[in-house]
Every structure is written in C-alpha cells, then in structure tokens.
C-alpha cells in the first residue's frame, strides 16, 4: 500500500524518498512530508487513541492546532512523547510510535472506557474517588494517570543540547502567510530591521495549501517569490521552524527555533532547539486563523478532519485520506475543498447546513443537510446524513472534511491579559482591547479572511509600524487574488448529539458541557476546569468556540455573553530543555574556582560546593579511609604547628573616600571611626530590623581606605546592602565601594609556627614580629622578592594566625611556596571541614549561627551594638522582643557520655520536662568531633544559656533517635583567654 | 621581580588560543587593570588632569577611549583603566599617586579574566551569549551585561574584535560558555 493515497503534484520532492517507521512498520514518504501526510499517503488514518475513552483517532488538522495525532518520536533517550504528527517533519530513519494504547493501536484493551462512558462523564473523578483520603495519591492517582492518554518518558537524561539567544529588530512579523509576507516586505523595503518568524518549515502559511492565483502566479509560487526577495535583503532575518510562543513585556517575544529536529543525525555540538528572546520595537501578528469543526455524533473517527486541512493535504502534500470523501460545511470555503479534491480525481459530496447552498462545481451538494452520525471502528466508512426534508441518507466515504468557519488566532494578543471581542461579521472572537505594547494585528488573525484583504491589511500594518519608528515606508502594489469569500452562516452543532466530541484531545463531549451547566459550573472558567475543555496541550485551538457555543445555547445566552477563557504562553508546547538552555547538569550555574584549585586537585582534594565556589573540603592522605581521619589530622597539625587554608572566597570589599570611616560606622553596629590605620577590627552588621546580618572584619589601610571582609556566603548580599546604603541612604557621603574578592588570592596561615613560616617568605624589610605586627594588625607588604601583598593578623581558628593576600595570578605559586617553606614545620593544608572544626572549638559564630533569626544578644555580642552612634539596626535592636532576659544565648555543649555525638539540629530540654515544643530550651547550630578534646562538641542557642553553664540538659532529636544528656559549657572550648592568637 | 610563577585565569602557565570557524578565541593576560572613581567633590580640573595622564579623554557612557592606556566607562564618573601589564603592573599604585585625593583607585588586574574573539560573524556568536545588540553598536563600545549568569563587560573594539571580561574565578565557566556558543554557530 505504499503511497496508495498519494495524488499528483504537491510541494514534496519525489526524488528524495524517505524511509520511516510507525509502530514497527516501515513506510516511505518524501522530502517535504510531515509524519501525518506520509502516513495518510500510505493509507494510515489511525494514528492514536484518545486521552480518556481510548477512542481511535486520526489527524484532525494539518498544523500545530492538532488535538488527535499525538505520537512518540525517536527512540532511546531521545524519545519525545506527545508530539504532533501533523508538524513532525519527516526525515530518513524517523521512528514514530503511537501512544496511550495496549497492546496495540488497533486493539486497545483500555477502549473498555468507551463502553463505560456513561460513568466517565465530566466530574467523574471528583465525585467518585473521594474515599478514603489515603487512597488519593497512592492508589487513585497512579491508576488514573496510567489509564490517561499521556506518552511515556525514556527516563534517561535528554541527550540533546539546547541554547538560548537574544535577537533585536525594529519589527517582528509573526507568521509568514499572505499578510505576514507582505508586511515583512513592506517594512524591509522601508529600511527597518525585520524578523519574520513562522512555525512551519516552509513559509507561505495558508498559501501553500491553496490553488488560486495571486497576480500571475499560483499562491504557493507567489509565496516562494516573496520569500526569495526577503531572503535577499540584508535587513531581514527569516526564521522558519520557529514558533513565537509568548508575548511578554516591553516588546519582548519568546521564540523557539527548531534547529535539528528534522535531521536524521544532529551534530553533537549543535543545539536541538534555541529559545530566542526577541527585543522588538513593533510586532505585527499575522498568525492567520484556525478552522473550527461542527460538532455531531461520533465526529471523531479517523478520516474526519477539518475541511481546510483535507484541502491542505491534497494541495500541499498531494495526499488524500480516501478517494471517496464528503465535506460537511456551513460556508463556501468547504466547497472549495470539494472542488480542489475533485480536480485531483477524488470523489466528493458536500453536506451544507445552509438551505440555499449550491454546488460551485461538478459535485453533489446536500443543502440544508447535517451529518447526524458516522460509522467505522478504526476509520471512517460512512456518514449518516439527515437531509433538509428529514430523510436519512448514508454516504460511503473514507474521509469527511468539516468546516464550521474560521477563528482568528488571537492567542498572542491575550498574553498580556487582553480579551478578544466577539465580531458578528465573522462570527468569531477577534483581537480587541489592550494588545501587548507595540503589537498590531493583520490578516486573518485580525478577522480579515479574504486573501486580497489580508494582503492589504498586512501592508497597512507594516506602513503604520514602520512610520511610527521614523522610517518612510513606500506603498507597494497589492496583487489581485482570485479566492472567494467564505459566506458563513453560523452552525455549531447538530441538535441531539451526545457522544459528540467538542475537545477531542481531552475527550470532552457536548454532553459534558451540558452536564457542567446542569451542575451550575456555568461560568466559562468553571466550565473549563470542570470539564477540562481547552486544557490539553492544544489549549483548545479547535474546541473552545464550539464549547462556548454549546454553553451559550443551554444557558440561553449569546456566545459573547458566555465569554472566553484566557490564552497564556506558550502558544504550543515547549520542551523543558529549551527553557533550560545550556543551564543543566554541571553547567546549571557557573563554577568559581579558588586560586589554589589546580594545586588542590593535584593533591586529590575532595571539593565541596559553597555557593558557586568549589572549595577544598579536606585533603586525604594515603592510608586515610574516612574523611574524619583527614580532618582530624589537619586540625591537630594546625594547632600543633602550622596549617594553611585558602580563604579567597571570603568577600573583599574595597571602601574608599573621605567618609569611609563614617560609612563603616553606619553599617556596622560597633564603632570604626577611631580604628587606627594599620589595624583590623571585627565587625557585626545588623539588618534594619535589628537581626544580625553578617560578621567580618574591616582593615584600615589609610585614613580613607578600608578593606571589608565578609563571610563567603554573604559576600554578594553584604555588598548589595552596602551599595544600597551608599546610594540610597547616604548619598552625600564621599565613599566608594568596589568588590576585590577576585583580585586577591588570600590564605590563612594559622598555628604556633605561622609567624616563623611567614617570615621565610615575607621580604626582610617588613617586620612581622609580635611587637611590630601584633594581633589585629594589617598592612601592605611584599613577599618572595617584591610581590605586593597584604597581611592581616586575624584568626578564625583561635591560633596565632595571619591572612596573606597576593594578586590572584600568583596564588597557585604562593601556596606551593608556603608548603615548600613550611616543610621544616610539617605544615599542612586544611580544608573547610577542618576550618569548621577549629572555629567551633574556638566558639566563633558562622553562617549556622547567623541564620537570619538571631540577634547580637543571642550571639553574646549585645554589648558590641554601640549606643554612642547611629548605625543600621541599632534602634530596632533595642526592641523589647529582642531583649528578653530569657533569650537564647550562644553556648557550648559537650556530651556527659563522651562517646556520644551532639548532632546539629537537636533540641535541648530541661531534664525532667516533657519533650515538646512548649518546653523547648534551644537548639544545636554547629557540631563536630574535636580531635583536640577527644569528643564531640557543639555550639547551641539555649535560653538564658549564659547563666546555665555547668547545667546538664537533655539533648533530643526525635527524628534521628538522639536522646542523651549534655552539659552546657562556654562556647570557647579552646584557649578561652585568647593567649594563642596573641602569641 | 617576584620569584613566583603566575598562572592564567584558566589555570595554565600560558594563555590559550583556539580557533572555531572564522573566529579566534584568545585568553588575554597581558593587561593591567585599575578602577578609578571620582570623589564627590572632584572637579573638572582633576578630571582633565587624569585625562592628560592617560593620554585620552575620559570616555562617556558605554564608550572606550585611548590606545596605550585605554579607559572604558563602568558607571557615573567611574572608569576602568587598562594598560600593558609588562610596563604597568603597578598601574593602580601609579594612578593613586597621580590622582591623590581626587579619585578612588582600586587594583583590578586579577579580578577579571578576559577573552578576545577576533574574526568574522562575531555578532552571530554574541546573540547566543548576551542581550547586547552587537550589530547596532559602533566601534569602541563597552557594555556591562550578563553572560550565563556571570556579570561581564563586553568591549566592542569593532565587529571583528570583541573582548569579554568576566570574573576571574569563573574563567573556566565563561570559557566553556564562549566555546559552546562558537560551536553552536560554526
């Protein structure tokens, strides 16, 4: 049956046959075919099963509005479900599969649903699956989902790559039909930068489906001529296979361009699709119109399709679903389908609802007739016609074209909540109200259905748009066209029809709509949600209007009184991969690497993500089989001799200006105005509401120059906060901020031998002895023979410690040099785990304690909030609620049984009290095993903790089964007097 | 001269040069950078003095000026100054001394990585990278933008030579992004 239904002509390349498979069977089509046209050419009308009732279905349309011919394309990881066969471009080797059927498309066991249709009406699920509640998610939903008509996923990662991009134009023309083509040409000739986008792989829109002439050319040839001229213009970008899927603010449109979907093999580095963000000054929507069906009994059999689509298959793809066809219409356009088919040797009969309808060619017209039923289990075999006189007549046909008129494609006009208005002239909703800024609508999308009128409309829209942008557009000649008016008399559905499908993708029937009204879901929005009308992936492009018409009839209203639901982006389904673009897997977000990254990698460091940074977590040595072994070694060696840690990730903000000190006084709760040059001070930053925001240090390098250090996690938010204060709260201050986090490689050198180690690399003219460079000193120095560097004597570990910074390009060399120089001290490099252990041992607060709920008082830093000056957050930190004498205080915890852990997240209960929220005494924020103390320790916030030192409390974590006693102790487990860091 | 060997932002001893179709992608490490920001009361005389020292007028919004020492606009009364690293490693110190009291100067040399793209069809590449309308920009334009989540400066010397400056720590990510776009086009 190879190409048994192929006609002559068409816009396919018969010199390029393409082999493909559908449900395991091999077929042949031609270059230029879609999957649907190629299957129809091969006599295949049955392409899918319906969503709910598993009814046999074939293509209803020839475009992106298709509700029925939904298939799975490709195999393996590249398998894509729920794809429209009517838009899938055929390529050699394409493998397609029908979906939502078992065991086969021809025999589907789930078709039993169709027999149970009386029970499966609208609202069936809501009414039936109510009890017991525990079954909702675990039993009912999986069963219903399995039974419903969705395709299957491969469950493998998408093997394709996707991209995003940005385009700019003066005028974006959406749709390359007659109005779009002439609009683009007019605007381009005026000198505007034009983008013409069309979802089809061949520009021309409806013209490719017609046989009438434009000027001296046939419609497809005229379209090709226009495209050729546009392609020759440097200011025009033609984008085929590109769907304008959304209209957004400020003239921005979302476009999805399919780059490789039509290729047998896509190059590995080429994106499959690109999501373009188009910045347009003006846009002309020339998206055409979608034909609407008439609703009648059993109107969903394979072979029943829209009349215009039947004509498209015949004219563009030289295909007919059958050689005996009928057309059911309420307008003259249906007759045009019959004429074109007859011209190609197909036998056609027209059933026209209009009593005065006449044949416009050599075929029979049944004026005043309606299709009252159809027959054919897996494909249409006959239609039952009720004639004007009430008599019945059966027509043996394999295809039926249905035309109930045309609806302008208003979707993009609604993406900014514009509401279309009913147009009595065309009996359809047309664009109205507030359109997206800069948009105008032309051609059939604006309800202008004649081709000549559409050309004029597109031309006029382009003239107006170009002129509005300052161009001087010239009129161009509008060619004569020889199409005919539609002459429509509204007819929505055949009276009495029950099993008549309105929304074929979601299996919504006329009966469902009447039921919704009967159960008082009469609002159009309620109707939509109760019946799911228009909620499938086609957004009801072929069904909404019929649904509204039926609702209007049962409600005794007009269609405009019923109203219409809202169209939202995307216009057609968009692959999630296209929305993600390059941002997936390891490229989901950028990675920041520290200056010592290369060295750390060489050492086999285990890295941890800290925000965007990759930091070395610990450095395993041979023989160490558990991370704790590495961390314990790093901690012990640092406290015993010297350790080095890359702390480049801490935020570094350069603060300069005459008012720099005053500015820091403003943002820090403690005072900075009197900090001497060459000194560093610990600072606590509060939010406006008095809650602690971040801590860090500020080093004064000159009267008008500070370097502020923030925590790694808060580097961006602190900088943003400081800029806000500078620009908005203190614009009169002479102060300037700039981030230098990236500019300097900074290492902590900590431990009793830290000074001795540094003295080996710091140039001899700089004295860093304890007297010359005491605790909290800072200054510019040089190292390793003249390299400019900064030295800070600050300590996070509690040891004698420095932080040394050099220009980042030398960071790799510096850590290697420090280790070389440190060999005599058995210097060790430590990672973030050891860093964390040592700061907990020392009792230093970090992100776990600065958790957005804690105050200076909680942190034991209440006295740091100066009352002698105004600083951000100082006033609100005096609120009663933040100064409760029973407030949480930062303390240390150690287990009574030293073998027990003290896990973070555990809660503290007074011994003897019930374990419940009402008796909660606080919670553990940070915990670790202290290799120096030989047991676990923790930092915790405990109510009045500072007065409860020595008290044994109960540590509980019902989720993890923790329940044992711990003792409240000082948070400073190591060197509470600070002798080490001042040594 | 310090006895330490520098590495490039991509972590190598030497900068990379790669070719994709008609475009050459080069890692640039031989430019010193310093930001200068005028203080609140800095007057026109101080501005002129800075311009004379640089040998170029201070550029206006989105503009680049200069040859030996180049400046590009980064904010109101703020510029980034670039010069040859070999001869201007201490650019920031020099500028601070020359403009003392009038400008806040901060060393930025190693805060940034820079990749230069030279060759044809660069606009086709950049339309997959950032929202800057490269085709509409004149020669000597500097634009601050975002490329794959990274805050970057794009310096359009001409349509066949465009530099991208991004955060040094994310050089590998930025390089990957540029290469992905180049491979996507060519």
B174 touches chain A (CB under 8 A): yes
Give the total residue count for chain B.
186
Q: Which residues of A touch B135 (CB under 8 A)?
A: 168
pLDDT higher than 90, residue A152: no
Tokens of A715: 């580097």
A526 touches chain B (CB under 8 A): no
| B positions 135-154 inside 8 Å of A (CB) | 135-136, 148-150
Residue A522, classified by CB atoms within 10 Å of its CB into exposed (0-12), middle (13-18) or buried (19+), is middle
First vs last C-alpha separation in chain B: 43
The dihedral through the CA atoms of A155, A157, A161, A167 has a sign that is positive
Q: Which of A583, A613, A809 sits opposite B7 (nearest CB)?
A: A809
B60 touches chain A (CB under 8 A): no
Nearest Cα residue in chain A from B109: A743
pLDDT of A705-733, one tens digit each? 999 999 998 999 999 999 999 999 999 99
Q: Which residues contact A797 (CB under 8 A, 6 or more apart)?
A: A638, A639, A643, A748, A750, A751, A835, A838, A839, A842
Q: Which of B78, B110, B133 sits opposite A168 (nearest CB)?
A: B133
**CB pair distance less than 8 Å for A808 and B5:** no
The dihedral through the CA atoms of A639, A643, A649, A651 has a sign that is positive
Answer for the pair A499, A509: CB distance below 8 angstroms, yes or no: yes
Tokens of A208: 């490719």
pLDDT of A33-86, one tens digit each? 999 999 999 999 999 999 888 999 999 999 999 999 999 999 999 999 999 999
Strand order across the A94-98 sheet:
A25-31, A13-22, A94-98, A70-73, A80-84
A272 to chain B, closest Cα gap in Å: 10
pLDDT higher than 70, residue A906: yes
3-class DSSP string for A727-786: HHHCCCCCCEEEECCCCEEEEEEECCCHHHHHHCCECCCCCCCCCCCCCCEEEEEEECCC
pLDDT of A77-135, one tens digit each? 999 999 999 999 999 999 999 998 888 888 888 888 888 877 777 877 778 888 888 88
A964 touches chain B (CB under 8 A): no
Nearest Cα residue in chain B from A162: B184
B31-109: which CATH topology?
Alpha-Beta Plaits (3.30.70)
3-class DSSP string for A835-847: HHHHHHHHCCCCC
Gap between the Cα atoms of A771 and A411, Å rounded: 77
**CB pair distance less than 8 Å for A168 and B169:** no
| A positions 167-206 inside 8 Å of B (CB) | 167-168
3-state secondary structure of A807: strand
Q: pLDDT band at residue B178, thresholds of 50, 70 and 90? A: very high
- Asked if the bond preceding A30 is cis, omega within 30° of 0, the reply is no
pLDDT of B93-130, one tens digit each? 999 999 988 999 999 999 999 999 999 999 999 999 99
pLDDT of residue A125: 75
Diameter of chain A measured on Cα atoms: 115
Q: Which of A279, A658, A743 sits opposite B107 (nearest CB)?
A: A743
- Asked if the bond preceding A103 is cis, omega within 30° of 0, the reply is yes
Tokens of A568: 């939202």
Nearest Cα residue in chain A from B181: A163
Tokens of A81: 């479900």
Mean pLDDT of A304-325: 98
Q: Which residues contact A219 (CB under 8 A, 6 or more apart)?
A: A204, A207, A208, A210, A211, A212, A213, A451, A481
pLDDT of residue A149: 65
Q: Which residues contact A623 (CB under 8 A, 6 or more apart)?
A: none
Nearest Cα residue in chain A from B178: A582
**CB pair distance less than 8 Å for B169 and A785:** no
Residue A629, classified by CB atoms within 10 Å of its CB into exposed (0-12), middle (13-18) or buried (19+), is middle
Answer for the pair A536, A101: CB distance below 8 angstroms, yes or no: no
Gap between the Cα atoms of A41 and A396, Å rounded: 20
Nearest to A654 by CA among A540, A775, A741: A741
Answer for the pair A247, A439: CB distance below 8 angstroms, yes or no: yes
B177 touches chain A (CB under 8 A): yes
Q: Give the start-end residues of each E strand in A493-574.
A: 501-503, 508-509
B181 touches chain A (CB under 8 A): yes
Q: Crossing angle of helices A544-555/A510-518, nearest 10°?
A: 40
Gap between the Cα atoms of A677 and A704, Å rounded: 9
Q: Which residues of B touch A168 (CB under 8 A)?
A: 133, 135-136
Q: Which residues of A touch B172 (CB under 8 A)?
A: 591, 593
Gap between the Cα atoms of A449 and A747, Å rounded: 73
Gap between the Cα atoms of A308 and A314, Å rounded: 10
Gap between the Cα atoms of A430 and A415, Å rounded: 14
Q: Which residues of A touch B78 (CB under 8 A)?
A: 736
DSSP classification of residue B130: -
3-state secondary structure of A442: coil
3-state secondary structure of A550: helix
| Residue owning tokens 């109203």 | A563
Gap between the Cα atoms of A433 and A444, Å rounded: 18
| Residue owning tokens 């356009």 | A333
Cα-based distances in Å from A839 to A427, A795, A796, A848: 75, 9, 6, 12
Strands A613-618 and A606-610: antiparallel
Q: Crossing angle of helices A178-189/A451-468, nearest 10°?
A: 30
pLDDT of residue A483: 77
pLDDT of A360-406, one tens digit each? 999 999 999 999 999 999 999 999 999 999 999 999 999 999 999 99
B104 to chain A, closest Cα gap in Å: 6
**CB pair distance less than 8 Å for A785 and B1:** yes
pLDDT higher than 60, residue B64: yes
Residue A258's Cα: distance from chain center in Å?
17
3-state secondary structure of A619: coil
What is the overall mean pLDDT for chain A? 95
Gap between the Cα atoms of A244 and A285, Å rounded: 10
Mean pLDDT of A667-685: 95
Q: Which of B133, B149, B172 sits opposite A589 (nearest CB)?
A: B149
- Asked if the bond preceding A472 is cis, omega within 30° of 0, the reply is no
| A positions 339-368 inside 8 Å of B (CB) | none
Q: In A208-235, which positions are buried (b, 16+ CB within 10 angstroms) versus exposed (e)?
A: bbbbebbeeebbbebbbebbeebeeeee
Q: Which of A163, A589, A741 sits opposite B184 (nearest CB)?
A: A163
pLDDT higher than 80, residue A293: yes
Mean pLDDT of A434-463: 96
**CB pair distance less than 8 Å for B149 and A590:** yes
A187 to chain B, closest Cα gap in Å: 18
A760 touches chain B (CB under 8 A): no
**CB pair distance less than 8 Å for B106 and A740:** yes
Mean pLDDT of A187-205: 98
Tokens of A778: 């800072």
Gap between the Cα atoms of A748 and A758, Å rounded: 11
DSSP classification of residue A723: H
Answer for the pair B175, A590: CB distance below 8 angstroms, yes or no: no
Residue A223's Cα: distance from chain center in Å?
36
Nearest Cα residue in chain A from B41: A734
Cα-based distances in Å from A388 to A353, A370, A399, B64: 8, 8, 22, 80
Nearest Cα residue in chain B from A597: B11
Domain definitions of chain B by residue range: 17-29+112-185, 31-109
Strand order across the A651-656 sheet:
A680-686, A692-702, A705-710, A651-656, A736-739
Gap between the Cα atoms of A917 and A549, Å rounded: 58
First vs last C-alpha separation in chain A: 94
Residue B78, classified by CB atoms within 10 Å of its CB into exposed (0-12), middle (13-18) or buried (19+), is middle
Written as one string, the DSSP assignment of A814-863 is HHHHHHHHGGGGT-EE--HHHHHHHHHHHT---TTTSSSS-BTTTTT-GG
| B positions 109-138 inside 8 Å of A (CB) | 109-112, 127-133, 135-136
Gap between the Cα atoms of A787 and A790, Å rounded: 10
pLDDT higher than 70, residue A338: yes
The pLDDT > 90 percentage for chain A reads 89
Tokens of B41: 């009361």
pLDDT of residue A122: 81
B65 to chain A, closest Cα gap in Å: 22
Gap between the Cα atoms of A468 and B106, Å rounded: 46
Q: Which residues of B touch A658 (CB under 8 A)?
A: 39-40
Mean pLDDT of B65-84: 95
pLDDT higher than 60, residue A603: yes
Q: pLDDT band at residue A138, thresholds of 50, 70 and 90? A: confident
Gap between the Cα atoms of A189 and A689, Å rounded: 60
**CB pair distance less than 8 Å for A657 and B7:** no
What's the CATH number for B17-29+112-185?
Answer: 3.30.1360.120
DSSP classification of residue A536: S
Q: Which residues of B touch A592 (CB under 8 A)?
A: 167, 169-170, 173
ipTM: 0.97
CA atoms within 13 A on the CB side of A960: 12
Gap between the Cα atoms of B21 and A564, Å rounded: 52
Nearest Cα residue in chain B from A277: B131
Q: Which of B2, B105, B127 sits opposite A810 (nearest CB)?
A: B2
B8 touches chain A (CB under 8 A): yes
A972 or A495, which is more confident: A972
| A positions 913-942 inside 8 Å of B (CB) | none
Query: What phi, psi does B171 have (nearest 5°)?
Result: -60, -40
Q: Which residues of B touch A161 (CB under 8 A)?
A: 180
Mean pLDDT of B20-36: 97
Q: In A917-931, which positions are buried (b, 16+ CB within 10 angstroms) versus exposed (e)?
A: eeeebbbbbbbbbbb
Q: Which residues contact A424 (CB under 8 A, 6 or more apart)?
A: none
**CB pair distance less than 8 Å for A166 and B174:** no
């Amino acid at each position: 049956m190879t190409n048994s239904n192929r006609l002559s002509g068409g816009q396919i390349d018969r010199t390029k046959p393409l082999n493909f498979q559908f449900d395991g069977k091999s077929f042949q089509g031609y270059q230029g075919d879609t999957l649907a046209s190629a299957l129809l050419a091969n006599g295949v009308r049955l392409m899918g099963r319906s969503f709910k009732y598993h009814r046999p279905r074939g293509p209803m349309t020839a475009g992106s509005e298709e509700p029925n011919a939904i298939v799975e394309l490709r195999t393996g990881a590249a398998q894509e479900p729920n794809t429209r066969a009517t838009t899938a471009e055929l390529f050699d080797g394409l493998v397609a599969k029908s979906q939502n059927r078992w065991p086969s498309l021809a025999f589907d066991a789930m078709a039993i649903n169709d027999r149970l249709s009386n029970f499966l009406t609208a609202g069936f699920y809501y009414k039936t699956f109510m009890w017991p509640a525990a079954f909702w998610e675990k039993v009912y939903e999986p069963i219903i989902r399995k039974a419903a008509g969705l395709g299957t996923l491969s469950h493998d990662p998408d093997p394709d790559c996707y991209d995003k991009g940005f385009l700019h134009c003066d005028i974006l023309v959406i749709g390359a039909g007659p109005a779009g083509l002439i609009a683009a040409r007019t605007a381009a000739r005026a000198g505007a930068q034009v983008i013409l986008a069309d979802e089809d792989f061949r520009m021309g829109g409806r013209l490719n489906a017609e046989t009438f002439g434009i000027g001296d050319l046939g419609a497809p040839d005229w379209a090709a001529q226009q495209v050729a001229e546009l392609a020759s213009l440097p200011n025009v970008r033609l984008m085929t296979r590109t769907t304008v899927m959304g209209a957004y603010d400020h003239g921005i449109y979302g476009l999805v361009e399919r780059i490789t979907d039509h290729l047998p093999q896509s190059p590995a580095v080429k994106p499959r699709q690109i999501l373009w963000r188009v910045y347009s000054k003006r846009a002309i929507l020339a998206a055409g119109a979608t034909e609407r069906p008439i609703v009648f009994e059993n109107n969903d059999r394979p072979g029943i399709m829209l009349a215009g689509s039947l004509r498209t298959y015949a004219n563009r793809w030289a295909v007919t679903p059958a050689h005996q066809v009928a057309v059911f219409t309420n307008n003259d356009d249906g007759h045009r389908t019959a004429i074109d088919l007859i011209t190609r040797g197909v036998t056609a009969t027209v059933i026209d609802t209009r009593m005065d309808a006449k044949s416009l060619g050599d075929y029979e017209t049944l004026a005043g007739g309606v299709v009252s039923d159809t027959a054919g289990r897996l494909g249409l075999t006959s239609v039952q016609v009720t004639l004007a006189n009430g008599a019945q007549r059966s027509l043996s046909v394999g295809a039926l074209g249905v035309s109930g008129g045309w609806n302008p494609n208003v979707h993009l006009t609604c993406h900014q909540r514009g509401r279309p208005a009913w147009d009595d002239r065309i009996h359809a909703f047309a664009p109205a109200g507030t359109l997206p800024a800069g948009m105008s609508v032309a051609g059939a999308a604006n309800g202008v259905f004649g081709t000549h009128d559409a050309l004029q409309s597109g031309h006029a829209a382009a003239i107006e748009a170009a002129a509005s942008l300052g161009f001087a557009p010239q009129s161009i000649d509008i060619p004569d066209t020889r199409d005919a008016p539609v002459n429509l008399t509204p007819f929505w559905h055949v009276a009495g029809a029950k099993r008549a499908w309105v929304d074929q993708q979601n299996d919504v029937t006329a009966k469902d709509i009447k039921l919704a009204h009967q159960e008082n879901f009469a609002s159009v929005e309620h109707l939509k949600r109760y019946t799911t009308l228009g909620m499938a992936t086609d957004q009801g492009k072929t069904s909404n209007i019929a649904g509204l018409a039926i609702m209007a009839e049962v409600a005794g209203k007009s269609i405009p009184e019923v109203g219409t639901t809202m169209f939202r982006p995307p216009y057609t389904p968009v692959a999630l991969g296209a929305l993600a673009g390059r941002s997936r897997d390891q490229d989901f977000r950028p990675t920041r690497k520290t200056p010592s990254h290369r060295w750390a990698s060489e050492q086999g460091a285990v890295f941890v993500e800290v925000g965007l940074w990759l930091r070395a977590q610990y450095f395993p040595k041979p023989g160490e089989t558990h991370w704790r072994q590495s961390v314990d070694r790093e901690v012990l060696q640092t406290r015993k001799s010297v350790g080095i840690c890359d702390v480049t990730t801490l935020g570094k903000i350069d603060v300069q200006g005459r008012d720099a000190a005053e500015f820091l006084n403003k943002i820090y709760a403690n005072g900075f105005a009197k900090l001497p040059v060459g000194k560093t001070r610990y600072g606590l930053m509060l939010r406006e509401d008095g809650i602690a925001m971040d801590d860090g240090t500020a080093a004064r390098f000159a009267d008008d120059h500070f370097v502020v250090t923030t925590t790694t996690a808060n580097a961006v938010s602190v900088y943003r906060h400081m800029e806000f204060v500078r620009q908005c709260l203190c614009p009169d201050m002479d102060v300037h901020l700039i981030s230098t986090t990236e500019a300097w490689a900074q290492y902590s050198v900590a431990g009793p031998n830290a000074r001795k180690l540094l003295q080996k690399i710091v140039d001899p003219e700089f004295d860093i002895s304890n007297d010359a460079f005491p605790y909290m000193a800072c200054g510019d120095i040089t190292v390793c023979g003249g390299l400019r560097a900064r030295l800070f004597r600050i300590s996070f570990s509690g040891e004698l410690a420095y932080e040394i910074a050099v220009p980042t390009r030398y960071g790799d060399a510096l850590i290697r040099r420090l280790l070389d120089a440190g060999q005599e001290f058995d210097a060790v490099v430590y990672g973030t785990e050891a860093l964390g252990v040592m700061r907990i041992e020392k009792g230093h607060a970090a992100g776990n304690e600065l958790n957005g709920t804690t105050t200076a008082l909680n942190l034991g830093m209440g006295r740091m909030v100066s009352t002698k000056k105004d600083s951000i957050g100082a006033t609100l930190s005096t609120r009663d609620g933040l100064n409760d004498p029973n407030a949480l205080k930062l303390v240390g915890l150690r287990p009574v049984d030293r073998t027990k852990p003290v896990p973070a997240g555990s809660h503290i209960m007074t011994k003897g009290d019930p374990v419940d929220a009402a008796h909660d005494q606080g919670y553990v924020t940070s915990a670790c095993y202290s290799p120096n103390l030989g047991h676990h320790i923790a930092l915790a916030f405990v109510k009045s903790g500072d007065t409860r030192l020595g008290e044994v409390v109960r540590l509980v974590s019902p989720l993890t089964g923790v329940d044992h006693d711990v003792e409240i102790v000082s948070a400073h487990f190591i060197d509470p007097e600070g002798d080490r860091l001042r040594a | 001269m310090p006895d330490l060997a520098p590495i490039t932002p991509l972590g190598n001893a030497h900068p990379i040069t790669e070719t994709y179709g008609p475009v050459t992608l080069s890692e640039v490490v031989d430019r010193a950078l310093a930001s200068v920001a005028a203080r609140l009361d800095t007057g026109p005389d101080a501005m002129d003095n800075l311009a004379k020292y640089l040998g170029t007028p201070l550029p206006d919004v989105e503009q680049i000026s200069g040859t030996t020492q180049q400046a590009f606009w980064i904010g109101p009364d703020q510029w980034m100054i670039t010069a040859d690293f070999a001869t201007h490693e201490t650019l920031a110190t020099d500028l601070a001394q020359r403009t003392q009291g009038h400008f806040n100067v901060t060393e930025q040399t190693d805060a940034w990585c820079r990749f230069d793209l030279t060759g044809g069809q660069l606009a086709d590449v950049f339309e997959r990278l950032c929202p800057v309308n490269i085709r509409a920009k004149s020669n000597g334009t500097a634009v601050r933008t975002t490329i794959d989540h990274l805050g970057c400066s794009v310096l359009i010397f001409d349509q066949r030579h465009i530099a991208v400056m991004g955060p040094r720590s994310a050089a590998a990510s930025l390089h990957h992004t540029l290469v992905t776009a180049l491979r996507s086009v060519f």
